[in-house]
Amino acid sequence: MQPTLYIAVVGGGTCDPDTLRRAERVGQLLAERGAVLVCGGLGGVMEGACRGARAKGGTTVGFLPTTARSSANPYVSVALPTGLGEARNTLVVRASDALIAIGGEFGTLSEIAFALKVGVPVVGLDTWELAKHGGPVQAIHCVANPAEAVARALQLAAGAVRATS
């Protein structure tokens, strides 16, 4: 039996309609493939992804910064208040076998970087570009659309899980 894969979807707490649509599509596809969706539990990309996943019967885990479960978006099926503030970003990463970043601001970048630091593969859809001393750093698996994002994330996650079992 295949182990269940846990995939983080990270991105801005507010976002434009096109980004929201892509987040929703990522959520749908993850649920159809049987993955558990992990996120920060709030609005924007997080809400879009959760809505998509729930529409397909998926499980959606939200690590909330505050101590109030009611701060979760309505599509989080397992809502987890942490009281850790923004440090809960590290929990989103630690709980995931791979991470899909969609757009996003500094919080998203902190999750991308933390994931790369601790060995969680990162797939990016119109998100941050990494560079140092003027040269690009090829660490994010860049993809062109939600279908590619999900396929790549699941492939990388399965490899990561095998490597640590």
Q: Which two tokens stand for residue 72?
A: 């979760």
CA 69/CA 4 separation, integer angstroms: 25
Of the residues 16, 57, 67, 159, which one makes contact with a copy of itself according to CB under 8 A: 67
The span of 22-30, 45-53, 132-140, 148-156 binding a copy of itself (CB under 8 A) equals 132-140
Instruction: Please choose, from the candidates 76, 46, 45, the residue with its C-alpha nearest in 3D space to the C-alpha of residue 61.
Output: 76
The span of 25-33, 40-48, 101-109, 142-150 binding a copy of itself (CB under 8 A) equals 101-109
- By CB under 8 A, the count of residues binding a copy of itself is 48
Instruction: Please choose, from the candidates 9, 104, 103, the residue with its C-alpha nearest in 3D space to the C-alpha of residue 60.
Output: 9
Is 129 a binding residue for a copy of itself by CB under 8 A? The answer is yes
Q: How many Cβ atoms are within 10 Å of 139's Cβ, its own excluded?
A: 13
Of the residues 106, 138, 147, 159, which one makes contact with a copy of itself according to CB under 8 A: 106
Of the residues 32, 33, 105, 151, which one makes contact with a copy of itself according to CB under 8 A: 105
**Closer residue to a copy of itself, CB minimum distance, 29 or 79:** 79
| Helices 45-55 & 17-32 angle (0-180, nearest 10) | 40
Instruction: Please choose, from the candidates 98, 38, 86, 35, the residue with its C-alpha nearest in 3D space to the C-alpha of residue 62.
Output: 38
CA 46/CA 44 separation, integer angstroms: 5
Of the residues 21, 80, 151, 155, which one makes contact with a copy of itself according to CB under 8 A: 80
Q: Which two tokens stand for residue 113?
A: 């970087």
Q: Which two tokens stand for residue 161?
A: 């899980």
Per-residue string for binding with a copy of itself, 15-54, x by CB under 8 A? ---------------------x------------------
Q: Which residues contribute to the site for a copy of itself (CB under 8 A)?
A: 3, 6, 36, 59, 61, 67-70, 78, 80-87, 89-91, 94-95, 97, 105-107, 109-110, 112-114, 116-118, 126-134, 139, 161, 164-165
